[in-house]
Each structure stands twice: as structure tokens, then as C-alpha cells.
Copies of this chain bind each other. A is one copy, B any other.
């Protein structure tokens, strides 16, 4: 296990102040001196950890968004599968949980570092996801007012049942993820499904 990975684990478990370099070195399987040789001091190591996590998480999120169902065959099933991928690969995995916890615990101490994360992460992520939903709406699969709102609400809904588990840093089971995604997508589609009224076409136009 690399030094940065071990440091991520210890920083998350113990908090910045509670993390000690000896423990990180032991967990990484190297001597303390090597940690100092590679990363200078504790603060630099912490910054390296956050940058590393941010980068990997963003990569994962964009890779997953690339698998968004632009031409759905079964809209509900496709969106559920997408939500499950999102959760599994970006939100529930090691990097996602660690990054979230570090942001929550130490975000206020390193404003510029986390501002950077915020711009490159959620900022661009939500835009990208909103664009995909807008496309679905344009293609007539959904009836959406504001795509940005819809994207945020989609994420909120498919994670609605996992809040408590996240709060305590736990890892939800595959079954919990699936159930939360299924319930969330179902409600999302109830709200945003294309209107099937005689005036459906009109309604769709109004929202465009």
C-alpha cells in the first residue's frame, strides 16, 4: 500500500490532528523517515492525499457519467443501473467515502484546497449530468423544467436511503444501493416522466 493511500486511511480514521506519522508509516509498510523524505511534512502529506483523492474521484465520476443512458431502451431500468454504477464506483467506494469525510472534517481548515475540489468536482459534475438529462428531455423521454435542479434532485433521490450509512462512514450493501436507486428513480420518473396527456406534445414544448 502506498504512503498516500495509507495516509488517506489514517487521516480519515483519526482526523488530521489525531493522525500520527508513525501510524501512517507502519500502515504503509515503510519507515517514518521515508514518509518525511517523500512528502516533507504532515501538512504537505495531507494536501497530497486530498489532491490524489480528488483526482481519482473526478475521473471515476466522469467515466461513469459517460455511461449515462442517452438512448434508453427501458428508461427506468437504465436509470437504475446508472444510479447503481454511480453509487458503486464514485460515492460508496473507498476514494469517495474518504474524500467526503476529509472535506467534511477539514474543509474549513483548507479553504483554497477544497474550493479547488468544489470547482472541478461538483461544479463540473452537476453540469455534465444536467446536460445528459437535458438531452433526454429534448429527445422526449422526460419532461424537465430546470436540468440543473433535476440533476441535483436525481442524485439526492437515489441516495435518499443511504444517508445514515454515509453519515457514519459505513459502506452500504449492494442490496441497499439497489433498493435506494430503484426507489429514487421511480420517484424521479413519477415527477419527470413525459406527460402522456392528449396535450403531451404541447406540454413538452412548453418546458423546452
Contacts and interface: CB of A to CB of B under 8 A. Distances in A.
Interface of A: 13-18, 100-101, 103-108, 114, 118, 122, 143, 145-146, 149, 152-153, 155-157, 159-161, 163-164, 167-169, 183-184, 187-188, 190-192, 195-200, 202-203, 206-207
Q: What is the total number of copies of this protein in its complex?
A: 2
Given A160-B152, A164-B118, A199-B200, A105 B104 contact: yes
12 contacts: A18-B18, A107-B167, A108-B168, A122-B164, A143-B206, A145-B207, A152-B161, A153-B160, A155-B160, A156-B156, A195-B203, A200-B203
A118 B170 CA distance: 14
Contacts of A195: 199, 202-203, 206
Contacts of A192: 187, 190
